[in-house]
Structure 1
């Protein structure tokens, strides 16, 4: 295994793309090497490389077939395999890359001595050449800024941002623009300019990233005269990391599951990003049927392990529980492990205690000097927009909707008191609540998280 790790490191240095267990990225015009490790045996192994996912037998749309260490057929000179018996590798080299080379590749090796048919799929993405300062990387739910600046020595210019490469004129799929009077138009409150526009900083800030926002963006500064516009293209890469939000004392569930068509597998959960071969800072392990070890009784797998549900439950969350977690399902074969990364965000909510059967008041106020505003109360921490699991909403002057008579706004709303009263409290009411006041302007909403703890002999108090 040490030799395999060394080869991966060497390939990462030699080829233009970054190679991982399941994904490889290349650049148009360069070449890319896709590794395929297998165990050496006394008898000849049969192997193939093909386009598309691995099929039940052979390779879909084969590009190379191999008998032992000898290539017996190749679709074209574009595809080459130089078998290396010392490192137990059948690497596929793809030359003169173009964007049509993007997609899934399958390496399949039949090992008669072991009675095994090994398969490995690699997702390949081919990109246009781009300077490093034109590449921005982020994760789902992050806030990222795409840089763009110009000289204002001759005054402020009209600017637009669009999704996709810069066309001959204007911006296609326009998401934001600014005119010579510095008036800004934005397709969504997710897009905004936070730099000093007067000094030519028109960098685009995108909040609450989602996977569908990945791709190329165009910043265009309009300069008088034909073909004088200042253009900049920036590629945004977004890692698909799940985000779980919670508050102190919450019970969190970090989802992770896999198909059990071939049986159950060993699983581990670790703190931090997923490693190449194992879990870092392991906090829980399972043999596929039961939990065999856990760092603390706060961690557990409460799903149906027999059906592949290995979601991690964290009881009594605290501020130190924030950060990345890795779920790793240990599938047989080289680099076949299934991996999922989840980011946990813990908010320090105000705390209210109440007893079963009592009425509890969750305080929330805002400044009404410029008038009242719509608002809502929801179960769970405040999300990026609106309320999740809304239980009460108001148009600013009166309560417009409530899930039940259990929830009431009994303060003076004209004075900005939108405190929530919960009648007949039960143990099920325990948890985090969000008060959200929708103030005018982009990303101006007032948000407050409050954790309600319900006790049989408790009393009402607030802790900051």
Structure 2
């Protein structure tokens, strides 16, 4: 029996800041309490709750804020701070309340940053929820009684409406499948007994969402409708930029010994790495496909993260880290998806105004977003400088930062006035798209040069 475990995530603690993670679940219409205790004897200089992961300064997308000698502010009456500590109570919760929250309590000698993952579910979703991983074969259940005869039916993407199936993907006349959008969609149940469950072969992340099974029963309003929610778990994701060094994290405990490791392209196989690009014997790298692939950490301590130098577009895709542990099916496997981003390069002179481009489609509504300094992370912005709730600018670190485009049309370009040398560097525009790893990101590299002779600020 294998006793090794992958370190799936790493938390960096920089004294005196402390980051802790919790998970809270609740049901639509109920009340949830997000715990965040701190010594009541200590007066806080900053106390806030925000949506998204904790940032270096304050709270992103604040929902509650309290400061000494100032009245507490809250975005909605649904948010209340508990007496005696900083715990947040949210009443009448909805599905939109799901996500990550950050509690930030800063005192003279400490900086508490607590992240809470909130999952709000509907009772119907709990009954009709199917979960699976990328590339699995999943079946969405749907049955009816066929004792009085078989009926035509359809499957569609989205919740069932008054008639038909939204965004139809498959139809049946009761005896056989008459049309399907893709061979991936099949009915493998016994149609003669009314089993019209949908099987999806090799699911993708894009398959995630609501599905409608509709059985057409003669007579007005007699149709049988079943809504199914599909959640697809993707592999871990790392974002990087062209021509830069990218590191794919992987490590294991060496308490019972060191083991051979391989890195391969594609999903992990049953017994080995596919398309191996690097391998170790537990102590040293024994083979690599290219000098661009390296393991920079100490292999003998179980740190086998893969570094790819000078990344290209072809480096994007899924990678497998596999640690070969003796015993049947004891191997440790970790899959990582590397996304290579195109960065926009811009040059501006000191004193000018620059407009960093970023936009997204609003065909399904507006979304929360933020601009931050540095490379785009997997979730939220690091060192956020301006945020939007989708309709208005919610917060800006400085009056020099503005978003002058039409937010309702998805134009979230960042305008920076009176540019200085300190403004040079990388910026990240991150649009919060619902769903795991769906966020849209844009990186901009800004170069700042001295003011040209004879040219004043624009």
* TM-score, scaled to structure 1: 0.48
State the structure with bigger RCO (CA 8 A, min sep 6), 1 or 2.
2
| Larger Rg over CA atoms | 1
